[in-house]
Amino acid sequence: MAQIIDGKAVAAEVTEGVKTAAEMLKAQTGMQPGLAVVIVGEDPASKVYVANKGRTARACGFLSVEHALPDDTGQEALMGLIDELNGDPAIHGVLVQLPLPGHIDEGAVIQAIAPDKDVDGFHFTNVGKLGTGVTDSAFVPCTPAGSMLLIESVLGKDLSGKNAVVVGRSNIVGKPMFNLLLAANATVTVAHSRTKDLPGLCRTADILVAAVGRPQMIKGNWVKPGATVIDVGINRIAAPEKGEGKTRLVGDVDFDDAAEAAGAITPVPGGVGPMTIAMLMVNTIVAAYRSAGRTPPVF
């Protein structure tokens, strides 16, 4: 049976480190790290995410600011708020919760955030830095950054000689994951819906990262014996065994099946999920240190 990679435990360790770094920065410079989160509309899942981000930020000793805007907020008003936050010296990280309502140009909003406050890592400047291997000054998207820490917790920082397969090519997870694995010296293949013989390709992977958004797609016989499996997917499926109309969360990997073959595997929930918010805190503390002209801590 595979080792279960405990994302909650690793995330707790990371956020404790962030809290210590925030205390040191305040003691040395008087500066309190500041994170501003903007949410437009009433999407229930987004509201839960924003509340969790705010709670964790406050626990880390940050100034946590939330701007909740009505669903009919116009593009101009949203861009004006981002411009204000870009210029506010008390705010070091700016995050706009996605998805945005359909009438707003999401891409334009993301690119309006100042690159040095772009703690989601979606601005073209940060994407370009990551893509060209300048990982020390790039803000890396939080989910792949957290996934890398979980991989390192099992295999260490140098992945030389390891074959990695990333299933999914999104800008938010798949592509940055490719760049991070490559920077750690793994040999990386990105697979997707057009890939020929996906199960066969997955079986070559010492590190298998699933980020496709299809519940329990990756089966145990897709997994190379002893592989490290990172399941980024969060899918809600019917759970009639819990009662009528009940649901449960599953990943993109068939956990019970894959755990028989894998050497180490992340559960859903409790794997990659907690790491995403932890890495948002890391990016914010790094932004604050840079703003103060200090060398940022390394996590």
Residues with catalytic annotation?
A: 53, 97, 120
Residue 250 C-beta-side C-alpha neighbours within 13 Å: 18
Q: What is the DSSP string of 221-285?
A: GGSPTT-EEEE---EEEE-GGG-TT-EEEE-SB-HHHHHTT-SEE--SSSSHHHHHHHHHHHHHH
CA dihedral 231, 214, 111, 277 (to 10 degrees): -40
Q: Which amino acid is at 163?
A: N
Give the full edge-to-edge strand order of the sheet including 228-231. Answer: 3-4, 264-265, 228-231, 207-210, 163-167, 187-191
Give the pairing of strands 163-167 and 63-69.
unpaired
**Is 168 labelled a binding residue?**
yes
Mapped onto helix, strand or coil, the DSSP state of residue 28 is helix
**Is 169 labelled a binding residue?**
yes
**Is 146 labelled a binding residue?**
no
User: How many angstroms separate the Cα of 169 from the Cα of each of 79, 175, 177?
Assistant: 29, 5, 9
Mark residue 272 as left, alpha or beta (left: phi above 0; alpha: psi -120 to 50; beta: remaining): alpha
**Is 5 labelled a binding residue?**
no
Query: Running DSSP on this structure, what letter comes out for residue 9?
Result: H
Q: Which residues are annotated as a binding site for NADP(+)?
A: 168-170, 234
Binding-site entries:
168-170, 234
